[in-house]
Structure 1
Amino acid sequence: MAKNLSSTSKVMSLLQQWDKGSKTVRAQILTDFIANNQNKTGPELEAEFAQAASLFFTRLTAWLRLTYMIGTCLKLQLQAINIFVSSSSGHKFLSEFMEVGGVLTSLEILGLKDGKDEDKAQSLQLLMGIASVGRNYKELICESYGTMAVAECLARSKSEETQDAARMLLQMLAEGNPKFQVQVYKGLIALLSSSSPKAQQMAAQTLRIVQKIVGHAIPSIVEPVISLLKSYHLEVQYEAIELIKDLMDFEVQESLLKSLVSALVPTKDEIRKQPEILDDPNVPELKRPLPVYVQQAAAAKLIGILSHESNKMCERLVQLKCVHNLMIAMGNESHADSQRQGSITLEYLVRTFPIVDENVNEAMGDNLYHMFLKNPESLYMTMNAVQADVLRSNKVNIPGIVDGLD
């Protein structure tokens, strides 16, 4: 009995300190609580507060709602709340948090204009803990416009920790949540057009997982994923290429193939347009090629990858005049990598299809054709301006079914 009275007395004293305490006093109470109660179960937390844990928890959530917009001890508050909400057998605390609008408050923290990234990362951790409880909670987050809030946080954040937490939460919201998985899928597609290379990379990476969950592709994914090939960031290009390879198993295959072939020949308007990406502070100040030339080289490379992986896709690409467009890329004296990637891919097509070999030989002429076959990868370094012009002016057109396919 004496022990119980002593425990109750300590709790009441703590609550009085909280009620009368300054911001500094409350911050110290939270710091001590976080240090001493990590990974405790719901019953253990109740024992810590003499079966009156809800009295402290209610004070926490009330202070959060009053101060989250000005950021007072926000990270500490969220960490302490997360200990309660994520505790094993602590469903009572989760219910109490939901009843006072905890999800909406957590989502609003993500959108604070002057909010700290570390606070947003902690709010995302709290939301992940809620989402992990089950489908009903994932649906509640999505119904509260959570997908948009998390996606915007990922796009705007400058912290990789915060961006990664947002990416993980979006993936969680898609998994085991059939009612809202397409909403998350569309949110990730929208992120492909973000101005943040890290957000683009993470969105493409997560889309590879969510694409399989959704089970079908929507046409609006084609344009932004092809545009990712313009990126100067190799990690973005890698994820884009891997995502496009995955999408070849879905109904957007034909649109993607046509877009890749078109990307081999930038329009005059695309070449004239001064791209915003040239002002990217994360890219070294070097003489950089136009993004459409970066895309041209990446498209040539990807066409080669796809041609190696599937005979049917290889045949279709040839039917879509990729041979003609690859030769134009090979003649692009403004971008060596376009010339190199175009030449490497064209060599594979020439050696695969006799009809392609015959047409390429005729379009190039014997001298350039033999130079090309001798060393396609370094052809751009040995040919002259007249030969480059021959490549750009070629008239290769191979319609119908291609002969020579295994």
Structure 2
Amino acid sequence: MTSIKEQAAISRLLSFLQEWDNAGKVTRSHILDKFIETNQGKTAPELEQEFSQGASLFLVRLTTSLRITYVTDSCLAKLLRSIGIFLSAVSSNRYLIEFLEVGGVLTLLKILGLEKIKEEAKKESVKLLQVIANSGRTYKELICESYGVRSIAEFLAKSKSEETQEEVQVLLDSLVHGNPKYQNQVYKGLIALLPCESPKAQQLSLQTLRTAQSIVGTTHPSIVDCVLKVLGTMHLEVQYEAIELIKDLVGYDVRQALLKGLVALLIPSVKETSKLQAKILSDPSVLQLTPSLPMFLQQAAAAKAIGYVRKGMGEELYQLFLSNAEDLYMKLDSIQADILAANKVNVTKALCLHGSSYSMDTLYGSHDSAQMAYLTHFEKEDVESKE
């Protein structure tokens, strides 16, 4: 037999559940506000005590309401925060399973793709996906199997809130760790994000790609072209992350393609050059550089990266690279090979000292091997004078 105290607790629970079932939108909003305020941070045992061992009865009502009303955005953010209290509670594995069994992951991913839903609710959805992903490998695989990487990546590209985008980065970083079955899928999704129009999304994707690259261990063929194109951005924080990733990629099998691409960026195409010349001829009083600015930015960034390569290779090996890069690997001796394998440089100092001279000299026109050698000599004198 239950005690009088237990009977009273059960009665309160039934009364609370009945109030929820009969409530309208406004009343339910107030109930959620009170629940969030009084139960934030509680453990699963504490929640069970609060609901007289019937916490799951309220959770199932929250998940049901979520599935029915998420399209209309009615109290959606509060619903998600309330569910988050259950899923993030210590010893909450039972709640997590109950949420997943009713299609919780698919619902959260659908929320990210609906334009009418407010950013706040989407942010809460991302946080719940973080909780699920951090619960273990099985749950990360479930998100990926639900086409989660694509949904999450697309949302990162479209989101207008930098705070929300940073939460998405945390989620993607979680999905690439401890997820060997789908880590390549996350890696490819990050590469696919690089051409997007959001500078913040590009920056965060490049940062996460550095981690993903070290975990995956092999490179995707499209990464070189995608990263080199990013160098044309007008956002210096994005260009910085791209150069940092390039430094990492030099240690992989795309090194030769990467170096060729960087050198190629120093030489403007005939098409781009002719466009600029036509504008100069048509209006000699005004030089309009804006349409060609991304090309010049690519040149400057490529020069910075190549300055890093010179320090890493050493002067003799670097000159050999400039004279005939295609046959470089055939002319290496054992000492030069060891230099490439073991040489370490102060990259920050190198970029600081080399950035200005390369950038100014590569903005106007193309350079052959002899001209590049001259620029290298000029740069060396500039550095020595600064020291």
Structure-1-length-normalised TM-score: 0.77
Q: Which residue of 1 aligns with 2:79?
A: 77
Q: Is 1:37–1:45's contact at 8 Å kept on the other side of the alignment? A: yes
1:368-391 C-alpha deviation (Å, 9 max, x unpaired) = 99988865899xxxxxxxxxxxxx
SS in 1 for 2:28: helix
Q: Is 1:228–1:237's contact at 8 Å kept on the other side of the alignment? A: yes
1:290 matched to 2:307? The reply is no
Q: Which residue of 1 aligns with 2:197?
A: 195
Q: Which residue of 2 aligns with 1:401?
A: none
What pairs up with 1:389-404 in 2 under 5 angstroms? Answer: none
Q: Which amino acid aligns with 1:303?
A: I
Q: Is 1:340–1:376's contact at 8 Å kept on the other side of the alignment? A: no
Q: Which residue of 2 aligns with 1:341?
A: 358
CA–CA distance in 2 between the matches of 1:250 and 1:15? 59
CA–CA distance in 2 between the matches of 1:19 and 1:373? 77
Q: Which amino acid aligns with 1:300?
A: A
SS in 2 for 1:219: coil
Q: Which residue of 2 aligns with 1:39?
A: 41
Q: Which residue of 2 aligns with 1:398?
A: none
What pairs up with 1:278-317 in 2 under 5 angstroms? Answer: 288=290, 290-311=293-314, 314-315=318-319, 317=321
Q: Is 1:344–1:376's contact at 8 Å kept on the other side of the alignment? A: no
CA–CA distance in 2 between the matches of 1:136 and 1:372? 54
SS in 1 for 2:72: coil
Q: Is 1:138–1:173's contact at 8 Å kept on the other side of the alignment? A: yes
Superposed structure 1 runs of 4+ greater than 6 Å apart: 368-374
1:275-317 C-alpha deviation (Å, 9 max, x unpaired) = xxxxxxxxxxx97452011101111111001211233873564
Question: 1:85 Cα deviation (Å)?
Answer: 1.3
In structure 2, the CA distance between the partners of 1:188 and 1:54, relative to structure 1 (3 Å rule), is same
Identity of aligned residues (%): 50
SS in 1 for 2:222: helix
CA–CA distance in 1 between the matches of 2:371 and 2:236? 31
What pairs up with 1:260-275 in 2 under 5 angstroms? Answer: 260-271=262-273
Q: Which residue of 1 aligns with 2:167?
A: 165
In structure 2, the CA distance between the partners of 1:90 and 1:152, relative to structure 1 (3 Å rule), is same
1:204 matched to 2:206? The reply is yes
Q: Which residue of 2 aligns with 1:20?
A: 22
CA–CA distance in 1 between the matches of 2:4 and 2:15? 16
1:155 matched to 2:172? The reply is no
Provide the aligned length of Structure 1 versus Structure 2.
337
Structure-2-length-normalised TM-score: 0.80
Q: Which residue of 2 aligns with 1:350?
A: none
Q: Which residue of 1 aligns with 2:238?
A: 236
Q: Is 2:126–2:171's contact at 8 Å kept on the other side of the alignment? A: yes
Question: 1:116 Cα deviation (Å)?
Answer: 1.2
Q: Which amino acid aligns with 2:261?
A: S
Q: Which amino acid aligns with 1:266?
A: P
**RMSD over aligned Cα atoms:** 2.9
In structure 2, the CA distance between the partners of 1:84 and 1:373, relative to structure 1 (3 Å rule), is closer
In structure 2, the CA distance between the partners of 1:372 and 1:56, relative to structure 1 (3 Å rule), is closer
CA–CA distance in 2 between the matches of 1:101 and 1:160? 28
Q: Is 2:357–2:379's contact at 8 Å kept on the other side of the alignment? A: no
Question: 1:5 Cα deviation (Å)?
Answer: 2.0
In structure 2, the CA distance between the partners of 1:186 and 1:371, relative to structure 1 (3 Å rule), is closer
Q: Is 2:301–2:359's contact at 8 Å kept on the other side of the alignment? A: no
Q: Which amino acid aligns with 1:48?
A: E
In structure 2, the CA distance between the partners of 1:297 and 1:89, relative to structure 1 (3 Å rule), is same
1:7 matched to 2:9? The reply is yes
SS in 1 for 2:197: coil
Which of 220, 223, 226 is the matching residue for 1:224?
Answer: 226
What pairs up with 1:38-187 in 2 under 5 angstroms? Answer: 38-187=40-189
In structure 2, the CA distance between the partners of 1:256 and 1:373, relative to structure 1 (3 Å rule), is closer
SS in 1 for 2:267: coil
Question: 1:43 Cα deviation (Å)?
Answer: 1.4
SS in 2 for 1:69: helix
Q: Is 1:230–1:294's contact at 8 Å kept on the other side of the alignment? A: yes
1:85-126 C-alpha deviation (Å, 9 max, x unpaired) = 121112111111011000000000010112211111100000
In structure 2, the CA distance between the partners of 1:370 and 1:176, relative to structure 1 (3 Å rule), is closer
Q: Which residue of 1 aligns with 2:322?
A: 318
Q: Is 1:271–1:292's contact at 8 Å kept on the other side of the alignment? A: no
SS in 1 for 2:126: helix
Q: Is 1:155–1:196's contact at 8 Å kept on the other side of the alignment? A: yes
1:22-65 C-alpha deviation (Å, 9 max, x unpaired) = 10110111111111111211111111111111111111000000
Q: Is 2:137–2:179's contact at 8 Å kept on the other side of the alignment? A: yes
In structure 2, the CA distance between the partners of 1:212 and 1:315, relative to structure 1 (3 Å rule), is farther
1:342-364 C-alpha deviation (Å, 9 max, x unpaired) = 5789xxxxxxxxxx8xx569x97
Q: Which amino acid aligns with 2:303?
A: A
